[in-house]
Amino acid sequence: MDQRLVAAEEALKAGRTEEAVGELIQALTEEPDRPPQVYRVLLHQLYRLGRQTEAEVWSERGVERHPRDPEMWNLRGVFLRQLKRLPEALAALDESIRIDARHEGPQVNRGNVLLDMDDGVRAEAVFTKLVRAQPRNSEHQRQLGRALNKQGKIDAAMVRWRQAVALNKGMIDAWLDMAGAMNERHRQAQSHQILDKALAANPDEPRLHEARIIVFRRAGEPRKAEAYMEELLARFPDAAWLLYQYGSTIVDYDRPRANILLRRALELAPDKLDYRMALIESLERTRTGDEAVNIAEAYERLSAVMAEQTLTSSPHLKIASEVLIRVCAFDDLDRLGTFRDLGRIWAESGRHTALLKQLARVRTDDDRLELIEQHRIWGRQVEAQAAEHPIRRPAPRPKSDKIRLGFMSSDLRGHPVAYFALPLFDHIDRERFEVYCYSFYQGQEDRLQKHIAAQVTAFRWHPDMAPRDAAQMIADDQLDMLIELGGSTHMNKLEVMAWRPAPKQASWLGYPHSAGLSAIDYFICDPYCRPTRPDLLIEQPLLMPDSWIALGRMVFSENLEITPGLPEDRAGRISFGTANNPHKYNRDMLALWAEVMKRTPGSRFLFVRPEGGTVKFRENLTREFEAQGVAGDRIEFRPVRGRHMPFYNEIDITLDTLPLTGGTTTTEALWMGVPVVSLIGEAFFERLSYSILTNAGAGDLATTDKQAFVDIAVALAGDRARRLDLRQTLRERMKAGPLGRTDDFARDFYDMIARALAGAPAETAKV
């Protein structure tokens, strides 16, 4: 044995694994034709160190040198599986078995790869053979159960899992498989029964306690989970897993305390990626304290994670993208994945909320159609799950002259959705309609929610409720139509619509794209924001005659003062600006804005956003403008949230975001007398401002051409008289037009619903 191999052997005996690996790599680099056992020792040590990428490279070299070594092929299959290269892993394991079929390891590994590939049929064949050879092997019994479950054979799977725990009561994975299978099938009571038995045999096993917490959460019972964890804290006061689960459970309704718990969990287990990402996500969403400081910390923590490893899991990619979007870190965002790949990862893993952030990345017509398909992918999965666990249909209610109309949203409170929906509750057509509302909001009731609740027939507010139970509750109210207002946004339960709790269903207001569910029949829009082609909507358009929204009286207040005169006069130069969310930003949009500024000498741009207090946000946006030839000192930031309206008195012209245009921000700007220049696209989300501008009597400020967008903005900057007229008249125009005539809007809305339920054409509009 040569000197390097001796040194490697001594290092291994002394526990210096890294040093041993270095010696082995040097030995094989200097002399590749070494015996197969040298390669195998290196591969085993790389496996121990978690260096899968290097191990895959060396396993490839190993099988090239020793193509008849079955263990080398087996190890290669293991590394390829870890790298998610499943077809290659399967081929490597098949080769190992072909060379020598006597060993169990490659067979087990092959079965595991087939399970990863969701190929339950072939996995069943593998583990059936292994169980026959070793019927008392509890792990083989468990894996056979998993293969059966993949095929929907739940009763047969349960038999195998019960056999596994009968052979070994400490087989935690088998207990978890059983509890998880029941939980997925909305049989939470049976999940709890299984976990009772598992914990009786394994009372201090953290994963079983975590499973119970997840069952509570899946049932929409976070406060029951919280009570359970309070009891556990007495037994496990410094358990990182418990603090992590506690923080993750209460984060929607007690974020400050959740952050304390997540920080403590991370102190106890600093290397846990899930814990790190959970704190990053919560910080990004924390609105209390200094929001800019929270965003900055989230970004710094994420940067540290990304410097150490490549993120691959769907939840981690979603968290990372949301943080990077907040600070406009476009290069880092691109490195996470392509528009298609990320969208499909999120859709396939059930993360519909992430798809909202995809809208700003649309560039081409192919992207528009791909985005539709991403929503469909999510919708098909959710509808399949709902079909497996149907709700009970109540007997038909007695004939009534009144239509029962339901609105489902967790945003019927101090939120933009409620601001625009409010006219419908202030002007209910009580002669023809009974109105029901459904909210799952986790916070405290506010003034606007109380007001809405006082107007409607019933306001069902259930913070702790699972989607299937919510669907059953709504079905029991025997509605004629249900309209969801929240889409995939936070704390809403869009998946409820998959059970079709009402015979007719529609989407409106809260999400600027088709939801993805075939169970939603209609998409409420108007002649201006309606997509240009049918294939850009999944649902059927249900048209309002003029405007799809109106201005709620409790929000668009006369108390919001417009400072007389022009901002240009006070600042000594033209001020462009935006209050739009950074999830609407992209480089093409910023380049267009920069072109406007270059053609308007001396102008400045104001970002009225809470992110403006974050150094990275300011640096990134300033750099984007400088790259287009606009000096950084012309870019200014006003870091505010919720108190942004007065800052419109500093802005002469708002440049709209694209392709996802403003909605709430467009109406706010116009209400404050600030004109908005917008680019019109083909899909609904590209036409929101066009509708608002048209209904405010300023439709000429919207165009379908990018160069015309620049020209309109530059011309408006030079047209002092028009800007002064708009500042003085826009609010009155809005009040006098379709946006402000809230009683007309409500009447048109209720007429539209009545016509749709009577079977009239859905696209009826005023002539």
Between CA 480 and CA 486, with CA 485 as vertex, the angle to 5 degrees is: 135
pLDDT at 50: 87
For the chain, give the number of residues.
767
- The better pLDDT of the pair 107, 490 is held by 107
Q: SS3 for 458?
A: strand
> CA torsion angle for 604, 607, 611, 616 (degrees, to 10)?
-30
Q: What is the mean pLDDT of residues 442-454?
A: 92
Reported as a single tens digit per residue, the pLDDT across 134-168 is 999 999 999 999 999 999 999 999 999 999 999 99
Q: Kindly write down the DSSP assignment for every residue of 109-169, as one continuous string.
A: HHHHHHHHTT-HHHHHHHHHHHHHH-TT-HHHHHHHHHHHHHTT-HHHHHHHHHHHHHH-T
Q: Enumerate the H helices of 222-329 as residue ranges.
A: 222-235, 240-250, 255-268, 273-285, 291-308, 314-326
* Cα–Cα separations (whole angstroms), residue 425 to 248, 441, 741: 35, 19, 14
Residue 767 has pLDDT above 80, yes or no: no
pLDDT at 427: 96
* Cα–Cα separations (whole angstroms), residue 595 to 27, 200, 574, 655, 714: 59, 69, 14, 12, 9
Q: What is the mean pLDDT of the chain?
A: 94
Q: What is the mean pLDDT of residues 203-223?
A: 93
From the number of C-beta atoms within 10 Å of its C-beta (0-12, 13-18, 19+), residue 247 rates as buried
Q: What is the mean pLDDT of residues 452-460?
A: 96
For a pLDDT cut of 90, what percent of the chain falls above it? 87
Q: SS3 for 563?
A: coil
Which residues have CB under 8 Å from 613's CB, separation 6+? 290, 291, 292, 293, 637, 639
Reported as a single tens digit per residue, the pLDDT across 68-88 is 999 999 999 999 999 989 999
Which residues have CB under 8 Å from 621's CB, separation 6+? 328, 590, 607, 635
Q: What is the mean pLDDT of residues 570-591?
A: 97
The closest of 723, 318, 352, 274 to 514, measured between CA atoms, is: 352
Residue 496 has pLDDT above 60, yes or no: yes
pLDDT at 766: 42
pLDDT at 728: 96
Which residues have CB under 8 Å from 169's CB, separation 6+? 201, 202
Count CB-CB contacts under 10 A for residue 582: 22
Q: What is the mean pLDDT of residues 15-23?
A: 90
pLDDT at 8: 85
Was domain 403-543 assigned CATH 3.40.50.11380?
yes
Q: What is the DSSP letter of 354?
A: G
The DSSP H or E segment spanning 504 is strand 504-507
Residue 765 has pLDDT above 60, yes or no: no
Beta bridge partners of 690: none
The closest of 118, 165, 120, 119 to 141, measured between CA atoms, is: 165
Distance CA 134, CA 121 (A): 20
Best CATH choice for the domain 567-740 from the list 2.120.10.30, 3.40.50.2000, 3.40.190.10, 1.20.1090.10: 3.40.50.2000
Residue 253 has pLDDT above 50, yes or no: yes
Q: What is the mean pLDDT of residues 93-98?
A: 95
Q: What is the mean pLDDT of residues 364-368?
A: 97
CA 292 from chain centre, in angstroms, equals 22
Structure token digits, residue 381: 């999965």
Q: What is the mean pLDDT of residues 329-357?
A: 94
The closest of 698, 669, 689, 692 to 739, measured between CA atoms, is: 692
pLDDT at 184: 87
Residue 466 has pLDDT above 80, yes or no: yes
The closest of 383, 664, 639 to 512, measured between CA atoms, is: 664
Reported as a single tens digit per residue, the pLDDT across 256-314 is 999 999 999 999 999 999 999 999 999 999 998 899 999 999 999 999 999 998 898 99
Residue 681 has pLDDT above 70, yes or no: yes
Reported as a single tens digit per residue, the pLDDT across 395-447 is 888 877 899 999 999 999 988 899 999 999 999 999 999 999 999 998 889 99
Distance CA 547, CA 525 (A): 8
